[in-house]
Structure 1
Amino acid sequence: MDALELARKLQEEATCSICLDYFTDPVMTSCGHNFCRECIRLTWEKAKGRKGGRKRKGSFPCPECRELSPQRNLRPNRLLTKMAEMARQHPDFQSRDLCAVHQELLKLFCEDDQIPICVVCREAREHRPHRVVPIEEAVQEYKEKVKEQRRRIMVEFEKVGLLLLEEEQRLLQALKAEDEEVGARLRESSATLERQGHSLEMLLLQLEDRNEHSPLQMLQDMKELLNRKNSLSVQYPEVTPTVLRTVCRVPGQIEVLKSFQEDVVLDPTTAYPYLLLYESRQRRYLTTPLEGALHSKERFLAYPCAVGRETFSSGRHYWEVGMNLTGDALWALGVCRDNVSRRDRVPKCPENGFWVVQLCKGKKYMPSASAPTPVTLAEPPSHMGVFLDFEAGEVSFYNLKDGSHLHTYAQQQFSGPLQPFFCLGAPKSGQMVISTVTLWVKG
C-alpha cells in the first residue's frame, strides 16, 4: 500500500459517515460504530418523530448496521479524536486529493476536460470516451511542455536579439556613412572656399603692388589685371544640410511600450478657460468658455494648457496623442510637475518643472532652450507616444508614424509627482486627441 492509499484509508477512518467530515467529539455505539456526538443525537432525534421509529424505549437503530443501540451506552472515543485532529493538520489527508463526489483518490487526469478524476469517475458516462492518463504521467507531460516552452522562448528571444543587433549595426553603419558623406561635402566646400580666397588674396596683393608704380604704368597694367579679375569666378559651395536622415528606430519597441499604456483622462478643472475639451463617447463638451468667471488655483491661465487627472510618482507609463495641427502651430506635449506655475508665463523647461517636446513656427520640434540640441523633423507628426519611466528619471517621445525616437530627457530622479501635460498655442492651431477627448482653442 503506497503513502497516498494509506492516507486515504486513515482519512476514511477519521471521517463521520453522517456529516462526511472529520469527527468532532466522536462516540461509539454498542455495535462498535463511531459518529460525531451531535450527528448521532440529531439522527436519533429525527427517528423519534417518525412513526414506528422507536423500537424499544431508550434504544435506536445504528445508522451503519441498523442494530439497536441504547443511547445511554454511547462511549467517547478519544483515540479517534486524536486521529481526526491529525487528519485535519496533515497535508496528505486534505480533501483536495480526493474526489468530491466519490471520496476516492484523484489518481487519473482527463485530458479532454483538463481535470483530475478518480477511478470511479473514469467509468462514468461523461469521461468514458475521453483520453485519460495516470496523473503522474500527466504531470510529467506538463513538465516536458514547460521545458519545451522555455527552450522556445529562449530561442525566439535569441533570434530577436540577433535581429536587433543586425538592425543596430545597419543603423550605425548608415549613420557612419551619412557622417562621412556630410563631412566630405563640408571639407570639399571648405577647400573650394580656401582656393578662391587664396586667388582673391593674390589678386589683391598684385593690385597693391601696382599701386606703387607710376600712373602710366598702372594704366598699362590695368587691362591685364581686369582680365584676370574677370576670369576669376567666385563660386559659392552648395548648401550642405546637416539634418540627420538616419533616425533612431528600434523594431518592436512601440509594441513593448504599449504594455505600459495608460488611458489618460484629461482634467477639465485644470483647462485654460478657452481650451475646449470634447468627449466623443459622451458626445458632450467637458468644458465651456468661462468669460468673467472666477478661476480656481488649479486652472491654467497663462497658456492654453491642461493636464491629466493621473499623478505618477512611480512605475512606467505610456500614452499616445493624435495630432491634427496646422503647419505653423505652437504646441507642447509631455509631462509636468503637479505644482508648476499655472498663472505665470515661464519657459517650459525641466528647471521650471516641464519635460516637453514643443513645436515652434518653422516645423521645429525642440525640447527646450536649455537642451543641447533641438529635435527637428521634416513634417509634423500625426501620432506621438510619450513614455515615462519614473524610477529611471526618463521621459521619451516617439513618432508613431514610423516608430522613430524623437528625444529623451534623462536626470537622476524626479523631485515630485508628474502629470501628463498638453498645450495648444493659439486659435486655429489645430487639435489634439487624447484617448477619446479632442481639445482645441476656441477662436
Structure 2
Amino acid sequence: MDAVELARKLQEEATCSICLDYFTDPVMTACGHNFCRTCIQTSWEKAKGKKGRRRQKGVFPCPECREMSPQRNLRPNRLLTKVAEMARQHRGLQERDLCPAHQEPIKLFCLEDQSPICVVCREAQEHREHRVLPVEEALREYKLKLEEDMGYLQEEDRVKDRRERIMVEFEKVALFLAEEEQRLLRALKREEEETAMQLRNSKATLDQQRRSLDLLLLQLEDQSLREPLQMLQDMKGTLARKRNLSVQCPEVAVPAVVRTVCRVPGQRDVLRGFQEEVMPDPTSAYPYLLLYESRQRRYLSPLPEASTACGRDRFLAYPCAVGQQSFSSGRHYWEVGMNLLGDALWALGVCRDNVSRKDRVPKSPENGFWVIQLSKGKQPLSPGPTTPVTLTEPPSHIGIFLDFEAGEVSFYSVNDGSHLHTYSQAAFPGPLQPFFCLGAPKSGQMVISTVTMWVKG
C-alpha cells in the first residue's frame, strides 16, 4: 500500500461519519461504531423529538447500523483520539486546504466567483478587482444566511402543514354537516309522510261519515213522504238509526306545525365570529322604559319623575328602544336574554333608523320592522304582511344575525342552537338598528349586553 492510499485510509478512520471532520473526543457505542461525543449526543437529542414508535428510555439507534444502543454505555476511545490527532498533523491530509494552483493555504473567499482562493490568487488578474473576505468571516456570513434560509423553509413547511390541517378539518366538518343535513331532511320527510297519512285517514273517515249521513237523509226524506199513520209507526226505528249514527270529528293534522327543528351543529360558534356588543340608546327609550347599566351600577335613562320634554328620537307609542349602532353593511350578531312574566307581547329584531316613533304601527317589514314577537300563554298569530312571527314558548336567550348584503335577518335559540325564523328580501331600504320592545309594566326584563331594561309600573 503506497503512502497516498495509507494517508487516505488514515483519514477515513479518523473521520466522524456525522460531522465528516476529524474526531473530537471520540466515543464508541455498544455496537462498535465511533462518533464525536457531541455529534452522537446531538443525533440522539434530535431522535427524541421525532414521532414514531415509542422507544425505551435512554436507548437510541446507532446512526450507522440503526442498532439500539444504551446512551450510558458510551465509552471513550483514547486510541482513536490519538489517530485523529495524527491525521490533523499529517501534511498529506492537509492538501485539501491548499490552493491546487499555487499550493498555498486557502485563507480567502472570492464573493464574485463564490470560490475559496489563496493570497497568490488574490493578486492575480482574475481576482484583483473582486471583493474578497477572510474564510472565517465568509463562513460566518454564509452560515447566517443558510440559517435564515433554513428558518424560512421551516416556516414554509409549518405554514404548509397548517394549511393542510385546516383543509382536512374543514373537510371533516363539511362531511359531518352534510350528514346532519341529510338526517334532518329525512326526519322532515318522515314527518311530511306522517302528516299526509293523517290527512288521508281523516278524509276517509269524513267521507264514510258523509255517506252515512246521506243515506240517513234519504231515509228521512222517504219517511216524510209516507202516510201519517205509517210514518208514526216507523218513527221508533228511524229515531234509533239516528241515535246509532255517531259523528266523530277526526284529529286535525295541521301541516303548518312542523315538529322537526333545524339545529346546525357548531352554528353558534360560527355566528359568534360576528358578535358585537350591542348597547341600547337611552335617548331613544320610551319615557317609562328604564335602562340600568350593571357594570357601572347606574341608570342610563332618566327616571320618569325626572323626565321633562320628550326628545324627537324617543319612542312614545310603545315601551321600545333602539341600539346605539346603525348597520348599513356587513354581518352582525348579538344575543338578548329575557325573563318573561305574564302573557304580554315583547318584540326584538331590527328596524329602519327612520321608523315612526310617535304612532302605533304594525311591526312588519312594510313599516320598517324585521322582528319576532315573544309571548307566554297567547295563541300564535299567523304571520302575514302586517303581522310578525309570534313564539308562544320563547327561549330565555335569543340570537339575532343580520346579513345586510344578503338582505336577511335570522333568529336563533341560544338555549339549543335551533333556528327560529328568517326574514329575507332582495335588499334593505336603508341603515338598520337593533330593536327592543317590552310589554306592559311588570311583564319581565330584557338584558342586552350589560344593560337591563324593564317598564316602570
**Interval of TM-score (by shorter of Structure 1 and Structure 2):** 0.5 to 0.7
Q: What displacement does 1:312 show?
A: 0.9
Which residue of the other structure, out of 197, 201, 206, is the alignment partner of 1:184?
197
Task: Report the aligned-residue RMSD.
Answer: 2.7
Structure 1 residues 245-292: Cα deviation after superposition (integer angstroms, max 9, x where no partner): 101211111111101111011111111000000111111111233356
Q: Separation in 2 of the partners of 1:158 and 1:205?
A: 70
Please state if 1:316 is matched with 2:342. no
Mapped partners of 1:157, 1:423: distance in 2: 39
C-alpha separation in 1, matches of 2:426 and 2:345: 30
CA positional deviation for 1:429 = 1.0
Alpha carbons 2:374, 2:391 under 8 Å: kept: no
Aligned mates of 2:264, 2:112 — CA distance in 1: 55
Report the counterpart of residue 90 of structure 1 in structure 2: none
C-alpha distance in 1 between matches for 2:224 and 2:424: 63
Displacement, 1:165? 0.7
1:164 & 1:270 partners in 2: Cα distance? 42
CA contact (8 A) 2:407 2:428 kept: yes
Residue matched to 1:143: 156
Alignment-derived partner of residue 165 in structure 2:
152
Shift of 1:297: 0.5
- How many Å apart are 1:340 and its aligned residue? 1.0
Find the residue that maps to 2:234 and give its secondary structure: helix
Provide closer, same or farther for how the CA distance between residues 227 and 106 of structure 1 changes in structure 2, counting only shifts above 3 A: farther
Correspondence 1:341 to 2:356: yes
Give the whole-Å Cα distance in 2 for the aligned partners of 1:190 and 1:383. Answer: 41
* CA deviation map 1:41-100 (0-9, x unaligned): xxxxxxxxxxxxxxxxxxxxxxxxxxxxxxxxxxxxxxxxxxxxxxxxxxxxxxxxxxxx
Task: Find the partner of 2:442 among 413, 419, 428.
Answer: 428
> What's the TM-score, normalizing by structure 1?
0.68
- After superposition, the C-alpha distances for 1:174-207 in whole angstroms (9 at most, x for unaligned) are 1111111112112211211121111011001111
Distance in 1 (CA, whole Å) between partners of 2:110 and 2:266 is: 53
Where does residue 366 of structure 2 map in the other structure?
351
Provide the residue aligned with 1:170 in structure 2: 183
CA change 1:239–1:365 in 2 (3 A) is closer
Q: Does 1:305 align with 2:320?
A: yes
Amino acid aligned to 2:276: E
1:140, CA displacement in angstroms?
Answer: 2.3
Q: Deviations over 1:365-407 (max 9, x none)?
A: 67964179x7465622100001111111111111111111111
Question: What does residue 34 of structure 1 align with?
Answer: none
Question: Which structure 2 segments of 5+ residues have no match?
Answer: 1-108, 115-136
Structure 1: which amino acid aligns with 2:322? V
Spell out the pairing of 1:18-417 with structure 2 (5 A cutoff).
Answer: 118=144, 134-242=147-255, 243-291=257-305, 293-360=308-375, 362-363=377-378, 369-370=384-385, 375=389, 377=391, 379-417=393-431
SS at match of 2:410: strand
For 1:213, give the aligned amino acid.
Answer: R
SS in structure 2 at match of 1:134: helix
Q: Kindly provide the amino acid, as one letter, of the partner of residue 218 in structure 1.
A: M
Alpha-carbon distance change, 294 to 376 in structure 1, aligned in 2, over 3 angstroms:
closer
Hey, what does 1:52 align to over in structure 2? none
Structure-2 change in CA distance of 1:332 and 1:103 (3 Å): farther
The one-letter code of the counterpart of 1:186 is L
Residues 1:378 and 1:429: Cα distance change in structure 2 (over 3 Å): closer
Percent identity over the alignment? 66
Take 1:159 and 1:371, find their aligned partners in 2: how far apart are those partners? Answer: 43
Deviates more, 1:288-297 or 1:399-408: 288-297
Distance 1:103 1:380 in 2: 75
Q: What is the rounded CA distance, in whole Å, between the counterparts of 1:2 and 1:429 in structure 2?
A: 88
Cα deviation 1:197-239 (Å, max 9, x = unaligned): 1101100111101111112221232232223222222222124
Distance 1:4 1:388, change over 3 A: farther
Partners of 1:361 and 1:330 in 2: CA distance? 8
Number of residue pairs aligned between Structure 1 and Structure 2: 325
Distance 1:253 1:431 in 2: 27
Whether contact under 8 Å (1:332, 1:358) holds in the other structure is yes
Local SS of the residue matching 2:279: coil
**C-alpha separation between the residues in 1 aligned to 2:178 and 2:455?**
45
Cα distance change on mapping 1:183 and 1:286 into 2, 3 Å: same
Structure 1 residues 330 and 430 mapped into 2: Cα distance closer, same or farther (>3 Å)? same
TM score, norm. by length of structure 2: 0.66
Amino acid at match of 1:302: A
Alpha-carbon shift at residue 346 of structure 1 (Å): 1.0
DSSP-derived class of the 1:141 partner: helix
